[in-house]
């Protein structure tokens, strides 16, 4: 009987992990994805310029997505709420 309980618990853990992983893998702002995006030369290190380029890309993508939301964007600039949203997404990914 203990084997059945152990097997059921193990199966539930595997299934639960399998359901959660694809959602995390699709996160465009996960730390690993941002790091790979920033590490342009593939040396497993990020220079200041690589970091700035990666953050500019994230900023541009978010600006494009929020363009019609006047609470987040005004003209060609992000509002306080817009920038807070970007930073929160990056922080969640880390």
Q: What is the pLDDT of residues 15-43, one digit of tens each?
A: 444 444 444 456 666 788 888 989 999 99
pLDDT at 21: 40
User: Residue 51 and residue 53: Cα distance in Å, rounded?
Assistant: 5
Tell me the two tokens of residue 1.
């009987």
By CB neighbour count within 10 A (0-12 exposed, 13-18 middle, 19+ buried), where does 86 fall? buried
Average pLDDT in the chain: 76
């Amino acid at each position: 009987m203990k084997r059945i309980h152990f097997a059921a618990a193990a199966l539930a853990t595997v299934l639960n992990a399998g359901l959660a992983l694809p959602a995390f893998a699709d996160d465009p702002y996960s730390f690993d994805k941002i790091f790979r995006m920033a590490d342009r030369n593939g040396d497993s290190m990020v220079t200041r310029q690589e970091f700035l380029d990666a953050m500019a890309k994230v900023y541009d993508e978010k600006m494009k997505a929020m363009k019609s939301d006047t609470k987040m964007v005004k003209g060609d600039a992000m509002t306080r709420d817009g920038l807070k949203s970007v930073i929160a997404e990056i922080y969640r990914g880390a």
